[in-house]
Every structure is written in C-alpha cells, then in structure tokens.
Amino acid sequence: MKKLLIITLSVFLFASAKSQVYIQGGLNLANISNSNSGSVNKNNMLTTFNAGLLARTNSSGALAFESGLLLDGRGAKVEGSSGIANYKVTFNPLYLELPVNVVVRLPLTSTTNIFINGGPYVAMGIAGKSKFDGQLGSISGSQTQNIKFTNADPNDNDQAYSKLKRFDYGLNIGAGVDLKAVLLKVNYGYGLAKINSTQTNNGENDKNKYRTISISLGIPLSR
C-alpha cells in the first residue's frame, strides 16, 4: 500500500499539465550523528553532491506538493582513538532518495518568489566507498572498501562504516528563491534511521543517523 501511494503521487506530479518540473544539482555537506542527543559536534563534514529531477504540482500557486528522485551523497569524516590506537574513517555512500514535500510560496514580484518546503523522505543505498586509516603506535595502515548494504538490524555486531543499512528515512526542511529561470535552494536532511552500529551501547539513542545540508541549483524544464 505504501509503495502504491508513492507511485501514485509521483505519477500525479509529473503528469500534471500545470506542474513545475526541474532538474537539480548541487553541493552536500554530509555528516552523521555521534552523540545520544543526535548532534555531530566531533565529526568533520564530508563534501559530496546531489542531483536529480523534481516536480511541483503547480508553478505559481501559494501551496504546492513536490516529489521526484534524487541521487544523494551522504556520509562523514569520523575520527577516534582507543588507548594508543587512532583511526580515521571517510565513508561516502550514495542513495536514491524520494522526497515528498509541501511547498509554501511567498511572492516578492511578478516573476520572483521565496519558498519554504518540508516533508518526509525515503532513500535506498546503491553504492559508495569507505576508507579506513589507522595507527597503532608507530604502525599505520590504510584500506578502501566498497560499501555493502544490508537489510539486517543495524545493532548487529558486524555493522561498520563499510556495511550500512540499505534503507534510510527522515525529514527534509528547506527554503529558497524562485527566480523563474533558476531556483536557489538550501535544505537540511534530518535522518531518523540508525544506519550502522559502531558502538556496543547505541541501541536506544540518536547516534549513527544522517545529517545533511544541501545547497542546490534548480533549472526548470517547464512552468
């Protein structure tokens, strides 16, 4: 039933004669939460990208619905230590994301409006790389792996930055300006799914969830 609703909504958006269809591309500043409260204060952001095709149910009304399909880069640069051992992991998974947003437009001129948007998303992991750099005393090493996606519970002991849960879901909130020829957008993706388990006590907290800032440019294909 959920899949049918998603497919129906997507078909409605793209089939609407008055829809605003646009291609999108831009920069992602990706991170992953590492505290019980869901913050990312000790991780470094990973620079990656977003690209895809989106449509809004109308091109000029005050209220619209938006959906589409995005290729979305996620991940983080994670550092840690244990005794005399130090490590750094850079992991960059790629997801196919389907957002479903409500868009509210506020007109500035006859051809320009600002907008805010928000709503849920679902995403499926399809590819990516994970690089591990470690040092134990004077001994160091490095390893790069293809990320493996699994449907297993992310609290299983074999989860790692190179083995992630396949499906992610969460909330998007953003804002931007529609200049008619282009759309300038900023979005924050707040992941709600725990995508891996790198500690032994993280079963009931907000660690290991995606946090992604996106800065994008949209080019309308139709008005």
**What's the gap between Cα 195 and its chain centre?**
12
Q: In CATH, what class is 2-220?
A: mainly beta
Q: Which helix (H) or strand (E) holds 12?
A: helix 2-15
Give the E-state strand segments of the chain in sequence order: 20-32, 46-56, 63-73, 76-82, 85-107, 113-136, 139-146, 148-150, 163-165, 167-178, 183-191, 210-220
**pTM for this prediction:** 0.85
Which pLDDT score, from 0 to 100, does residue 42 have?
A: 77
- Residue-range domain boundaries for the chain: 2-220
pLDDT tens for each residue of the chain, 223 residues long: 455 455 555 555 555 556 889 999 999 999 999 888 888 877 889 999 999 999 998 878 899 999 999 999 999 998 776 666 677 889 999 999 999 999 999 999 988 999 999 999 999 999 999 998 876 555 667 889 999 998 876 665 566 788 898 999 999 999 999 998 999 999 999 999 988 866 555 556 888 899 999 999 999 986 6
Q: Are 84 and 113 in contact (CB under 8 A)?
A: no
